[in-house]
Amino acid sequence: MDKKKLINQSIDYIMQHLDEELTLDTVAHQLHFSKYYFSRMFKEETGESVYAFIKRCRIDQSAIDMKLKRTKSITDIGLDYGYSSSNYSSAFKQHHMISPAVFRKSTLTNSIPVPFSSWRIAHFKTFEEYAPHIQIQELNDFFVLYERYIGNYVDLEKNWYHFLDKNDLLLNDKTILMERFYDDPSITNQVQCICDICMTVEEDCGLENMTRIPGGKWAVYRFDGAIKDIFESAQGIFSVWLPRSRYEMARRYGLNIYRNIDRDNSRVIMDLCIPIQ
């Protein structure tokens, strides 16, 4: 199996089972590889050991839970990811440089700095302003050709143009372009954010780097504006609308589905999709 494909599968498995018992042995066994061989490849491809990656993802996901599940105690959130109360506080502070309690208070705001441009501030609307523009939709499965990027989301525009130019012959009137993202860039270190750039293809096309994105229920917000402003809209929905809605985020990735791209002016029309249950 191609090394990159193997590591991508291992990342997918880890992200889907963060609230379960995860070790190097269990992940390597799941992929039917020697743990020594797998461990070496994972470090070469991601720059992190398997253990460090799992620990970081658990802490970052727990921070997302604190953002969204505001009535759930910090102790219970830590327990969800295998930490005792004291161990969780220490691990969180070591990673984010602040305590869980201070972090939770910091999320109760109507504005945050844009991580890609420290001089810019993202200002959120109210729940009542977001709510009329969000639709609950059932999306079908997508079969896509994809490339995974681990790094700063600010590079996505450049990566997209490279991906589209490389796969230009596969584009047609029915092609749907989308991003599958796993991290909240206001929480995860910018150089460690994971995003898949995807384009729909026929299921039987025989291409190597293909995957199925399962459908399901999504909260969908139509964004129409400059690429630089996507973060502000996405964070507003995520930080303001979702915690007060009657929905919970499902433990899946989010999707950005492009409906129109104005490459010359760096503007897009896209659906910002949050998985819900």
Answer yes or no: is 114 within a domain. no
**Is residue 78 domain-shared with residue 205, that is, in the same domain?**
no
Confidence of residue 93 (pLDDT cuts 50, 70, 90): very high
Answer yes or no: is 127 within a domain. no
Answer yes or no: is 145 within a domain. yes
**What pTM did the predictor assign?**
0.90
Confidence of residue 276 (pLDDT cuts 50, 70, 90): very high
The mean pLDDT of 131-142, rounded to a whole number, is: 96
* Residue with more model confidence, 109 or 2: 109
pLDDT for the residue 213? 92
pLDDT at 86 over 90: no
Q: Report how far apart, in Å, the C-alpha atoms of 102 and of each of 33, 63, 121 are.
A: 41, 11, 20
Residue among 186, 195, 192, 81 at smallest CA distance from 147: 195
Answer yes or no: is 102 within a domain. yes
Confidence of residue 263 (pLDDT cuts 50, 70, 90): confident
**Is residue 36 domain-shared with residue 140, that is, in the same domain?**
no
**Is residue 137 domain-shared with residue 249, that is, in the same domain?**
yes
Number of domains making up the chain: 2
Residue among 223, 225, 233, 244 at smallest CA distance from 67: 244
Domain end position, chosen among 61, 88, 106:
106
Domain span holding position 228: 132-275
Confidence of residue 205 (pLDDT cuts 50, 70, 90): confident
**Is residue 94 domain-shared with residue 189, that is, in the same domain?**
no
Task: Kindly report, residue by residue over 41-51, the tens digit of the pLDDT.
Answer: 999 988 999 99
**Is residue 73 domain-shared with residue 180, that is, in the same domain?**
no
**Is residue 136 domain-shared with residue 271, that is, in the same domain?**
yes
**Is residue 268 domain-shared with residue 136, that is, in the same domain?**
yes
Task: Kindly report, residue by residue over 226-254, the tens digit of the pLDDT.
Answer: 998 999 999 999 999 999 999 999 877 89
pLDDT for the residue 163? 93
**Is residue 97 domain-shared with residue 154, that is, in the same domain?**
no
**Is residue 65 domain-shared with residue 23, that is, in the same domain?**
yes
**Is residue 160 domain-shared with residue 271, that is, in the same domain?**
yes
CATH number assigned to the domain comprising residue 86: 1.10.10.60
pLDDT for the residue 251? 78
CATH number assigned to the domain comprising residue 208: 3.20.80.10
pLDDT for the residue 1? 58
**Is residue 101 domain-shared with residue 136, that is, in the same domain?**
no
**Is residue 136 domain-shared with residue 102, that is, in the same domain?**
no
pLDDT for the residue 79? 93
